[in-house]
Structure 1
Amino acid sequence: MSLIGTEVKPFKTQAYHNGNFIEVTEEDFKGKWSILCFYPADFTFVCPTELEDLQNHYEDLKKLGVEVYSVSTDTHFTHKAWHDSSKAIGKITYIMIGDPSHTLSRNFDVLIESSGLADRGTFIIDPDGVVQGVEINAGGIGRDASTLVNKIKAAQYVRSNPGEVCPAKWQEGAATLKPSLDLVGKI
């Protein structure tokens, strides 16, 4: 079942953020755009490359009014230990959510039950707490955070301009489409 168009289910968990432990709930996603980036586990191989890449694009995302959350089934304590010991993860200034109860991983349908780890899932959530974008990759396939900037811009444009849609490879300022009977078969 697709999560597109569904509201984030209630949850409450702990996270590591800039030297502190904080509580995060579904309410934190309301009133702003959010990205949830699920990954299998701390102290692994592909994961730190993805999370560092996400940090490299974090300022651009923040300028768009987006908060970023990484999520794994590790604890917030493990996130702190990884942050303190890894050069790549030590750069992270966004929120690192711990999901040892697997509540979030199940809510977003990325939990691999047999291992207790999460798939590589990226979710774009609008200010109403509704999922607008989903990308899920196999464990060995790392994601490119630069694509999130354009996806967010497109999602924000569509939200602000009802009746318009963004075509493939759309860039901010480029032409959009207005679906209508006149366009059928003409693209």
Structure 2
Amino acid sequence: MSLIGTEVKPFKAQAYHNGKFIEVTEADLKGKWSIVCFYPADFTFVCPTELEDLQNQYAALRELNVEVYSVSTDTHFTHKAWHDSSETIQKITYIMIGDPSHTLARNFEVLIEEQGLADRGTFIIDPDGIVQAVEINAGGIGRDASTLLNKIKAAQYVRKNPNEVCPAKWQEGTRTLKPSLDLVGKI
């Protein structure tokens, strides 16, 4: 079953953010756009490259009223230790959630049960807490955070313009489509 169109399930987790430990719940994902980015584990290989790439897009995402949450099944203490020891991870200013109970990984259906780790899952969540986009990659395939900007812009556009849709490779300011009987078979 797809998570598209479903509300984020309740959770309470500890996170590391800008030198402090904080609590994050599903309520924090409401009232703004959110990206929840699962990765397998701290102190690994592909994961820091993805998290750094996400940090490189963070300012542009914040301009779109998007908050970013990275999540692994490590603890918030491990996130702090990784942040303190890795030049790459020291750059991160978004929220790093610990999920040692696997609650979030199960809620978002990315838990690899036999390993106790999460798949590489990216979720775009609207201000109502509803999942609007999902991308899941195998462990060896890193993601490109720059693709999130257009996905967010398209999701925000469709939310503001519910009678329009964004075609493939849509860019902000380009033509959208208004689904109707007149378009059937004409595209």
Structures share fold, TM-score greater than 0.5: yes
For 1:95 and 1:79, the matched residues in 2 are separated by 10
Distance across 1 between alignment mates of 2:46 and 2:40: 9
2:151 maps to a residue whose letter is: K
Which whole-Å CA distance do the structure 1 matches of 2:109 and 2:173 have between them? 34
* One-letter amino acid of the counterpart of residue 65, structure 1: N
The corresponding residue for 2:83 is 83
- Residue 124 of structure 1 pairs with residue 128 of structure 2: no
- Deviation sequence 1:95-118 (CA, Å, 0-9, x none): 000000000000000000000000
State the AA in 2 paired with 1:24. Answer: V
* Alignment length (residue pairs): 187
Number of the residue aligned with 1:153: 153
In the superposition, the TM-score normalised over structure 2's length comes to 1.00
Answer yes or no: is 1:18 the counterpart of 2:15.
no
Residue number in structure 1 paired with 2:34? 34
TM-score (norm 1): 1.00
User: Which residue identity does 1:127 align to in structure 2?
Assistant: P
Describe the SS at the equivalent of 2:87. coil
2:173 matches 1:173: yes
Deviation at 1:60, TM superposition (A): 0.1
Structure 1 Cα separation of the partners of residues 82 and 179 of structure 2: 48
- Which amino acid is the alignment partner of residue 63 of structure 1? E
Does 2:103 correspond to 1:111? no
Q: Structure 1 residue runs of 4+, over 6 Å off? A: none
Shift of 1:119: 0.0
Unmatched runs of 5 consecutive residues or more in structure 1: none
Matches of 2:143 and 2:82 in 1, distance apart?
20
Question: 1-side partners of 2:36 and 2:156: how far apart?
Answer: 17
In angstroms, what is the RMSD of aligned CA positions? Answer: 0.3
Equivalent in the alignment of 1:68? 68
Percent identity over paired residues: 87
Q: CA deviation at 1:92?
A: 0.1
What are the Cα deviations for residues 116-157 of structure 1, in whole angstroms up to 9, with x where unaligned? Answer: 000000000000000000000000000000000000000000
1:47 is matched with: 47
Q: Supply the distance in 2 between the matched residues of 1:50 and 1:87 (Cα, whole angstroms).
A: 14
Q: In 1, Cα distance between the equivalents of 2:88 and 2:150?
A: 24
Deviations 1:74-112 (A, max 9, x none): 000000000001111010000000000000000000000
